[in-house]
Amino acid sequence: MIVKILQQSIRFILLVLLQVVVLNHIQWSGYVNPYVYILFILLLPVETPKWALLTSGFLIGIAIDMFGNTGGLHAAATVALAFARPGVLSLLAPRDGYEPEMRLAPQSLGLKWFVTYLVLLTLIHHLVLFYLEVFRFSEFFLTFFKVILNVIISVLLMLMGQYLFGRAAKRNERILG
């Protein structure tokens, strides 16, 4: 139990640092700014209680807001993501259901399932984030274009991260647990 909490805490810190130090400074023409910090919520265990999901979503969102001076936009978007996650998980549940202690990763659930999961939840997060940021519908299609472009880039980066670091995490998990 303590090992899992430590692993999640390290993931939280590393994703916040990656987002704040590296990815927040990547902006192509004002349209693309990848957000991979949401991977923290997406990779939490399936059996995580809803209150812990919402609290974790708020904490990581407010951490990004504090470093980015965005006034709660990321907190709102990550809470919406955390709220939607159980519904998406039940929508995409395998026929036999999820096994206890199952990792949400392409290695354990398959690439098609994982990409669908990432795209749906990243789309929810980005829709909330970008429409709250603009806060008007006069630029609906331009904002929607930004959402789709950012979802594609963010999902690609998260997939690359899973394949680059997912195997090392799995190996460390076997060693520690």
Buried b (16+ CB within 10 A) or exposed e, 114-124: beebbebbbbb
Contact yes or no for 104/42 (Cβ under 8 A): yes
- Structural domain containing residue 34: 2-176
Contact yes or no for 125/78 (Cβ under 8 A): yes
Handedness of CA 83, 84, 89, 91 (dihedral sign): positive
The CATH number assigned to the domain holding 51 equals: 1.10.1760.20
- What digits encode the pLDDT tens for the residues 36-89? 999 999 999 888 899 999 999 999 999 999 998 888 999 999 999 999 999 999
pTM here is 0.88
- The structural domain count of the chain equals 1
- What digits encode the pLDDT tens for the residues 150-174? 999 999 999 998 888 766 555 545 5
The three-point CA angle 98-106-172 to 5° equals 90
